[in-house]
Amino acid sequence: MTAIRSATIFLAVFFLSTVLGRSFLPEAVVPAPCHAASTSRPEILELTVTNSDKRLLANLTFLNGCTSDVIHALESGIPVSFIYEFELKMPRRFFKDKTIANRTVVKTMTYDNLKKEYRISFGSRKPRVISVKTMEEAERIAFKMDKTSITPLTNLPRGRIYTLKARVGTRKTTSSLPFSRLMNVFSSWGFTTEWYEIRFTY
């Protein structure tokens, strides 16, 4: 009962600090700012495609993902997930564009206040966890997508034009604890970028 009450108080205090723009947490809980929050709008800087022998691959660079909301969450011990969505289509003149593939990749960032390090985890089949000491290093890992598999090349008829769209969004890791309902006050938290689209011929 005591643990539930303490956790509820912690989330209530975090809510106040987020809404009112000031910190009500003890100094021992909130680490010194490791990186200033980005004041620019989160956006996709670049999206390109390449291929291996068997698959179409996407490369993406994302900017300004560490907003004030993200920084607040990380400093309060709440994991933040960055969701990368890819949508591959084949345009058709007289019919609705044909969807070839949809792909979602999630990278989750956490901050360990005891070890003073950031952790980025990703990969569904073979999960990887990378630990770094600075926010700059964490951003380089979390905001860069290299050779992300989209679809087998056998799904792409030769000589056709294709469109690849991508966008990035955020979410906090959900909790199954009894006080999880309190997290509903953060329902408008986070961001989702506009779709970024490229056309290419294969």
Whether 20 maps to a domain, the answer reads no
Whether 21 maps to a domain, the answer reads no
**Taking CA 48 as the corner, what is the angle to CA 58 and CA 152, rounded to the nearest 5 degrees?**
35
Q: Number of structural domains, the chain?
A: 1
Range of the domain at 51: 34-201
* Cα four-point dihedral sign 47, 50, 56, 59: negative
Whether 18 maps to a domain, the answer reads no
Q: Which of 88, 113, 81, 99 is nearest to 190 (CA)?
A: 81
Whether 134 maps to a domain, the answer reads yes
Whether 22 maps to a domain, the answer reads no
Q: Which of 67, 57, 103, 68 is nearest to 84 (CA)?
A: 103
The CA distance from 140 to 162, in Å, is: 29
Considering the entire predicted model, what is its pTM?
Answer: 0.75
* Under 8 Å between Cβ of 195 and 165: yes
Whether 8 maps to a domain, the answer reads no
Whether 141 maps to a domain, the answer reads yes
Whether 61 maps to a domain, the answer reads yes
The CA distance from 95 to 73, in Å, is: 45
One pLDDT digit (tens) per residue for the chain, 202 residues: 444 444 444 444 444 444 444 443 333 333 334 455 666 899 999 999 999 999 999 999 999 999 998 998 999 899 999 999 999 999 999 999 999 999 999 999 999 999 999 999 998 778 899 999 999 999 999 999 999 999 999 999 999 999 999 999 998 765 544 444 444 444 456 899 999 999 999 9
